Amino acid sequence: MMRRPIVLLLGFLLLFVAGCAADPVDPKDPRLSLVYGYIDMADAPSSLGWVRIKLYDGKNQGYSAAVKKGLFFHVGVEPGPYQVERFGRHTTFFSNTEYSYDFGTRGRNETAVRIDKPGVYYMGAYKYVEIHTGWFEQGKFKMERTETPSERELLARLATILQDDYPQYTRQIAMVRQRLAQLR
């Protein structure tokens, strides 16, 4: 008689965990693009843990990009207009503070891209720059475009990451290599 609640609880937990999983990207889907960019958080209060790329289709959808040392990317982006909406860092073992930063959500920002056909799309490299404010004033910052690291450097890093951690995305790896060849 006592087992039923536990079975129900387990079932609920399984459903909950299944619901949390994101749809996997089909490596063979020819419609998908690779989007990437870079954010330097050296002067920010936190490191970079996540980047939200928003699809501007009126339905408030988008992608959570993978992040590796400032480089953010997503290998399965469908056609449409996109820009970085927010970025931040979740809580960590050493800090229970969650950080969330707006990348300019009042119209178009510099990261805006329109994906019309499958390919590799670069959103740019940016640096978090703090703006000095007075006492008792809310802190402010701006995102400044930076030339370092270069697009080529980031793409080379991305090629290595994909090769090592996501080797199943052969189509995306080939697209990155093709773009790298163009940048030489």
Partner 1 sequence: MAAPTALRPVRLFAALCLFLAGCGPQPEQPVTRLSDINADSVVIVGRLELQPPLRPNEQQLKMGTFDPFDAADRFRDRGFLWFGRVADTPAEKGDFVMNPRLGETYFLRVPKNTPYLLGGYIMAQYVTRMTSPRSMTVDDSRIEIPGGVRYDIRPGDRAIYVGTLVLHRDEFNEVTKAVIVDDYAPAAAAFKQRFGQGTELRKAIPRTEAPRRAAQ
- Using CB under 8 A as the binding rule, the residues of this chain from 73 to 92 that contact partner 1 are 81, 83, 85-86, 88, 91
Measured from the CB atom, the residue of 31 and 142 that comes closer to partner 1 is 142
Binding to partner 1 by residue 69, rule CB under 8 A? no
In the complex, the smallest distance separating the C-beta of residue 116 from partner 1, rounded to whole angstroms, is 12
Residue choice 7, 117, 139, 164 for contact with partner 1 (CB under 8 A):
139
Measured from the CB atom, the residue of 56 and 166 that comes closer to partner 1 is 56
DSSP string, 87-141: EEE---SS----EEEES--SS--TT-EEE-SSSEEEEEEEEEEEE---TTSPPEE
Measured from the CB atom, the residue of 83 and 172 that comes closer to partner 1 is 83
Chain center to CA of 117: 20
Binding to partner 1 by residue 142, rule CB under 8 A? yes
Is residue 32 within 8 A of residue 77, CB to CB? The reply is yes
Name the one range near partner 1 by CB under 8 A: 62-70, 100-108, 116-124, 168-176.
100-108
DSSP string, 45-82: SS---EEEEEE-SSS-EEEEEEEETTEEEEEEEPSEEE
Phi, psi (deg, nearest 5) at residue 142 = -135, 160
Name the one range near partner 1 by CB under 8 A: 17-25, 44-52, 154-162, 170-178.
44-52
- Number of Cβ within 10 Å of residue 39's Cβ equals 24
Is residue 40 within 8 A of residue 67, CB to CB? The reply is no
Contact residues for partner 1, defined by CB under 8 A: 44-46, 56, 58-60, 81, 83, 85-86, 88, 91, 96-109, 112, 114, 138-143
